[in-house]
Structure 1
Amino acid sequence: MRKQSVNLWAVLVCVVIGQVIPAVWYSIFSEQWMSLNGFTVEQIKSATSPVPYLASIVSTSFVAYTMAWVFTKVPVKSFVLGFLIGLLFGTVFVLFETIVKDMFSMRPLALSLIDGGVSVIVYTITGTILGAWRKYE
């Protein structure tokens, strides 16, 4: 029996996609997101620190690698199962947690759906890629 292992190329692709999707997502919802947060265009333009982008790359790397590792233990052997587990992880571990945290912070549900929704999409696509692009030792 072949042993499934973490596919680092698939993880790398997931990290890149995990940067592109939020960039597109927040460009689509930028006005609504800024309004719900109470930000002005000037505030957004003055925020030039690279730290959030670096944190995003590091975080996405850990998420993609961890999902890939979990997929070897389950094992996930198809893109459909990867899609479903990615959707489940994104919804349960990120979206629901974001909604609850934002409720306690008295933030609007629409903001939770914007911020958590992008994670659901990223996790789902990551799961799909990792489920489809497996590596065996």
Structure 2
Amino acid sequence: MEVLNVFAAALGAFVLGSVWYMVLAEPWMQASGVPRGPDGKPEGGINPGIFAMSFVLQLVVAGMMRHVFALSGLDTPGAGLVAGIGVGLFLISPWIALNNLYAMRPFRLSLIDGGYATLACAAMGLILTLF
């Protein structure tokens, strides 16, 4: 049953990411410096393998969050939500900002990507504790 929880949590975060980056596509592309063609879309298109790998990586995050939650005795949706926010806001987002800082990327990119990480981890934490 825990495998299904992890899968559902990763799927929820993946869907949330689809919406997040569709809404913020233009500011994200500007901040990240993605090369674009004359039509304004990324040059060369997007490789479907990126989506598959991003889902696999979200499975890894959801699996580790489930493990940490189990060790910590977190089992209510409220606790899962708060813990997920904490993971995203205080672990993943600072690391994203650190990488972007050294890559000399705009702070706006850290806000967009860190915002998604925080929301996705919050969703994962909530979903992991609903079952």
Instruction: Report the TM-score when normalising by structure 1.
Output: 0.85
Matched residue, 2:91: 93
Q: Report which of the two structures shows the higher radius of gyration computed on alpha carbons.
A: 1
Query: 2:90 and 2:45 mapped to 1: Cα distance?
Result: 31
Instruction: Measure how far apart 1:45 and its partner are.
Output: 5.4
Query: 1:104 and 1:38 mapped to 2: Cα distance?
Result: 15
- DSSP 3-state at the match of 1:48: coil
Query: 2:107 and 2:18 mapped to 1: Cα distance?
Result: 21
1:37 aligns with 2:32: yes
Matched residue, 1:55: 53
Matched residue, 1:81: 79
Q: Following superposition, which runs of at least 4 residues in structure 1 exceed 6 angstroms of deviation?
A: none
Q: 1:16 aligns with which of 11, 15, 34?
A: 11
Q: What's the % identity of the aligned pairs?
A: 26
Unaligned runs of 5+ in 2: none
- DSSP 3-state at the match of 1:107: coil
Instruction: Measure how far apart 1:105 and its partner are.
Output: 1.4
What are the superposed Cα offsets for residues 84-129 of structure 1, whole Å, 9 maximum, x if unpaired? 1111111122111111221121111111111111111010111011
Instruction: Report the TM-score when normalising by structure 2.
Output: 0.88
- DSSP 3-state at the match of 2:42: helix
How many residues were matched structurally?
A: 128
Q: How does 1:100-119 map to 2 (within 5 A)?
A: 100-119=98-117
Specify the code of the residue in structure 1 equivalent to 2:30: S
Specify the code of the residue in structure 1 equivalent to 2:34: F
Matched residue, 2:128: 130
- DSSP 3-state at the match of 1:76: coil
Query: 2:112 and 2:129 mapped to 1: Cα distance?
Result: 26
Instruction: Measure how far apart 1:79 and its partner are.
Output: 0.8
